[in-house]
Amino acid sequence: MKNFYIDNNQCLVIEVDELSSHPLHPLWIRERISGSEHIDKNNYQRLYEPSLIDQGIKFQKVSIKNGDIFVEFSDQQKGNISITSIINEIHNIDVIPKQEPWNSNLSQLPKHNYLNFEKDKTFIVKMLEDFIKYGFVIIYNLPKEEGTVIKFAESLGPVRSTNFGKHFDVISKPNPNDLAYTAMGLSAHTDNPYRKPIPGIQLLHCIENSASGGDSTLVDGLAIEKYLRKNDYKSHEILSQTEILFRFTDKDTILENRGKLIELDDKDNFKQIRFSGRLDYVPLISFKDLTNFYKARKKLYQLYSSKVFEIKFRLENGMLVMFDNHRLLHGRTEYDPSSGHRHLQGCYIEHDVTEGKLRRLLVKN
């Protein structure tokens, strides 16, 4: 039975529930058909410039069989495309799992044994899926050696260097250029909001942690954004509309970037959080707007500091935590450097590293 037709705009209409309301433009389909004459088999890039295709191109022949659309166009080109791939693209369906907000009631931390990774790739898949769902994972049984964090990160993809270097040593030291390199406690914050772009993912590997104190904390900014949206929309609106300055200064550089404490995308969905109260400067807006902003920021700080949303754990020797710096806030409790040594090494990677690695492991072609 014929279940498609060409409409008055020369678009292909397929009469199935998920496609009947989405007429398919001939150029849109033409750019997606597969075949050795259209796509490089090694990198899946087009072998032609789509902007040079005849703007008046039309469907000449169409047939559908076993879930594939076979088409021939007025420019004599032909190929096929699966209905499933069209539906997935329309609905933004991805193999990447959806984010799952959490609070202190998270019953089981996403922990993974490093010794399993070389035995079976499914362990890496599960680790990356957990990372995207929860915004963090904890890996244990890594070597207790300097440089391990770089080796682990590069097993996923490229490492991003900053003015702190390819990696950085989180230890207490004299005259530090960042408060992370002290023994003081650090409240929940995101890293480097003053950079362009802000690092996407941070990894911290524990080489030694024999000092008293120094427990790690994490807070899910996504969960708090949802809480604010539901329970204090006025504060949510102020924090997602007021752009502020973040600034870092040391003897070598001055870094500046502007952004909102809660950033939403063009569909009003959560995109990113920024929070570093020791580095942010709100512009000189009206008295009323400043009063409302400071009130909303204090509310946000209280939520980020709340035990309702915070999880706390101790990084032991050979453990690594990887967390999404655009979604999660991290901190630590104060520690006593005279009671023992605390030495973490860290580095940054970007989101396309974890997402690209996971897609490659899940997608056959």
| Spatial contact of 154 and 166, defined as CB atoms under 8 Å apart | no
**Which residues make beta-bridge pairs with 6?**
12
Give the Cα separation of 171 and 344 in Å (integer).
Answer: 7
Please state the domain extents for the chain: 4-90, 111-362
Question: Which among 241, 239, 136, 256 is positioned nearest to 192, based on CA atoms?
Answer: 256
> Under DSSP, is residue 290 helix (H, G, I), strand (E, B) or coil?
helix
What dotted CATH number matches 4-90? 3.30.2020.30
> What is the mean pLDDT of each successive set of 10 residues along the chain, which is 365 residues long?
84 86 94 81 85 93 91 92 90 91 96 91 94 98 96 96 89 57 80 96 95 93 98 98 94 94 96 93 95 97 97 96 98 88 94 95 79
CA distance readout (Å), 183 to 32, 74, 102, 153, 213: 56, 71, 29, 26, 9
**What pLDDT does 1 receive?**
43
> Under DSSP, is residue 137 helix (H, G, I), strand (E, B) or coil?
strand
Which CATH number fits the domain 111-362, given the four candidates 1.10.510.10, 3.40.50.720, 3.30.470.20, 3.60.130.10? 3.60.130.10
> Would you give the DSSP letter of residue 24?
B
**What pLDDT does 172 receive?**
64
**What pLDDT does 40 receive?**
84
Q: In the structure encoding, which two tokens stand for residue 171, read together?
A: 């230890």
> Which helix (H) or strand (E) covers residue 96, if one does?
none
> Whole-prediction pTM value?
0.89
| Spatial contact of 325 and 198, defined as CB atoms under 8 Å apart | yes
262 φψ region: left (φ > 0), alpha (ψ -120 to 50), beta (else): beta
> Which helix (H) or strand (E) covers residue 236, if one does?
helix 233-241
Amino acid symbol at 338: S
**What pLDDT does 346 receive?**
96
> Under DSSP, is residue 19 helix (H, G, I), strand (E, B) or coil?
coil
Q: Is the dihedral of CA 187, 188, 191, 197 positive or negative?
A: negative
Q: Rounded to the nearest 5°, which phi and psi values hold at 336?
A: -105, 105
Give the Cα separation of 220 and 214 in Å (integer).
Answer: 20
> Which helix (H) or strand (E) covers residue 191, if one does?
none
| Spatial contact of 277 and 304, defined as CB atoms under 8 Å apart | no
**What pLDDT does 181 receive?**
62
| Spatial contact of 4 and 64, defined as CB atoms under 8 Å apart | yes
